[in-house]
């Protein structure tokens, strides 16, 4: 089926020949003459495959590759290289490129590389869909276990109540064992449900195209608070929203920003003791034309080894059996909006996440940005 291909190269002849070849094959082609234009093109249009020249002005193909893969990890990218830069092409493969083609190239070679790239794209889409289907099926399979456990608990209670008093006293130990097993089933079911929701959230964020529109963080945070109201009440903690209504509207993806705040608050809830609190507050930084959000909790805090791995490939989940997908969602959303995030935490004092989001995000976040200071009284890590 026809696909949309981006070809980026600063050599007009190469650009023209590739574009004509792909159009002859029936595909739609977008062209760019430098790396920055290539990144902007991916940002502004839904692209299926990218062909990037390694050496380009304004932004090299390697830097463009890193930015593209950081934001669209499943988008297949093929590198174009001269014979003398094969080593750099190999390095590009390590950064996520699916293949590379050396110049000059034959039409048949281009055709086979495109077929490989499209196959990788399809495999990535299939994997995301499979994860979503598994999550959905497991959640459905859990429902009989959850309801069955509650029914079984009621039956056991009724059974022990119906026994003669002297027999009931003698069997108290067995009754206690039954209660412990039932509680184990409840806790395990709840943990599986939490993990499945993490997977479902990740699939939703990873598979949906980004939609930028005017967003008001106060309304998004209010939606998160309403969703988590019952859970927060059960834990006997307080969720506060402070200084959010006065924040300016930003250009962003409302669904992704919701996932960002939801995951930060939801991950904090189990760490906060009764009578504790979680606070989402914000401020407008007119100097950098951005908003700064802080998600603070009075929880247990994080050990140094956990804090240092947050938002990295070796993340250590604080939840029993946790996958760390929640923190990956958070980092992906921040990166997608051209922002940055830092975390400060000390055991026994709580944790503070600081997120800075530009009001008008650039076509793509620059490779390096200034990072706001960490929370000094807690100590922090920048990401």
pLDDT digits (tens, 9 = 90+) for 213-258: 889 999 999 999 988 888 888 889 999 999 999 999 998 888 889 8
Topology classification of domain 4-105: Rossmann fold (3.40.50)
Which residue, among 102, 91, 101, has the nearest Cα to 62 in the 3D structure? 91
Residue 27 clears pLDDT 50, i.e. is over it: yes
- Residue 293: CB atoms within 10 Å: 24
**Residue 321 — pLDDT band, cuts 50, 70, 90?**
very low
Domain boundary assignment for the chain: 4-105, 128-206, 211-382
Q: What pTM was estimated for this model as a whole?
A: 0.51
Torsion of CA 110, 112, 118, 122, to 10 degrees: -170
Question: Alpha-carbon dihedral of residues 341, 261, 48, 113, nearest 10 degrees?
Answer: 50
Under 8 Å between Cβ of 266 and 295: no
| Model confidence pLDDT, tens digit, residues 115-132 | 877 776 665 555 555 565
Query: Which residue did the predictor score with more confidence, 310 or 370?
Result: 310
- When the candidates are 3.60.15.30, 3.30.1330.60, 3.30.565.10, 3.30.360.10, the CATH number that belongs to 211-382 is 3.30.565.10
- Predicted local distance difference test score (pLDDT) of residue 374: 39
Provide the edge-to-edge strand list for the sheet that holds 28-32: 28-32, 4-8, 49-53, 77-82, 99-103
């Amino acid at each position: 089926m026809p696909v949309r291909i981006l070809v980026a190269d600063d050599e007009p002849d190469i650009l023209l020949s590739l574009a004509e070849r792909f159009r002859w094959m029936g595909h739609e082609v977008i062209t760019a003459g430098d790396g920055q234009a290539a990144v902007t093109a991916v940002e502004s249009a839904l692209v299926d495959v990218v062909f990037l020249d390694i050496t380009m002005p304004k932004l090299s193909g390697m830097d463009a590759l890193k930015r593209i893969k950081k934001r669209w990890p499943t988008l297949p990218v093929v590198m174009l290289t001269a014979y003398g830069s094969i080593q750099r092409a190999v390095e590009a493969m390590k950064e996520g490129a699916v293949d590379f083609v050396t110049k000059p190239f034959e039409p048949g070679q281009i055709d086979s590389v495109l077929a490989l790239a499209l196959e990788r794209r399809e495999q990535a889409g299939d994997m995301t869909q499979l994860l979503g289907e598994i999550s959905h099926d497991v959640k459905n399979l859990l429902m009989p276990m959850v309801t069955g456990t509650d029914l079984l608990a009621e039956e056991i209670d009724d059974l022990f109540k119906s026994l003669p008093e002297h027999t009931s006293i003698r069997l108290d130990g067995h009754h206690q064992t039954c209660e412990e097993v039932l509680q184990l089933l409840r806790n395990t079911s709840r943990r599986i449900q939490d993990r499945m929701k993490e997977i479902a959230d990740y699939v939703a964020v990873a598979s949906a195209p980004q939609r930028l529109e005017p967003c008001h963080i106060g309304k998004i945070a209010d939606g998160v608070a309403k969703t988590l109201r019952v859970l927060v009440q059960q834990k006997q903690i307080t969720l506060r929203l402070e200084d959010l209504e006065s924040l300016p509207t930003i250009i962003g993806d409302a669904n992704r920003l919701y996932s960002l705040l939801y995951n930060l608050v939801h991950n904090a809830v189990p760490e906060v003791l009764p009578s504790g609190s979680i606070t989402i507050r914000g401020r407008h930084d007119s100097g950098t034309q951005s908003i700064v959000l802080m998600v603070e909790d009075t929880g247990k805090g994080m050990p140094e080894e956990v804090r240092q791995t947050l938002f990295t490939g070796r993340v250590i989940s604080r939840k029993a059996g946790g996958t760390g997908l929640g923190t990956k969602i958070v980092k992906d959303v921040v990166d997608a909006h051209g922002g940055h995030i830092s975390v400060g935490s000390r055991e026994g004092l709580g944790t503070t996440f600081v997120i800075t989001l530009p009001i008008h995000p650039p076509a793509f976040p620059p490779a390096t940005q200034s990072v706001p200071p960490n929370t000094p009284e807690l100590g922090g890590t920048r990401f």
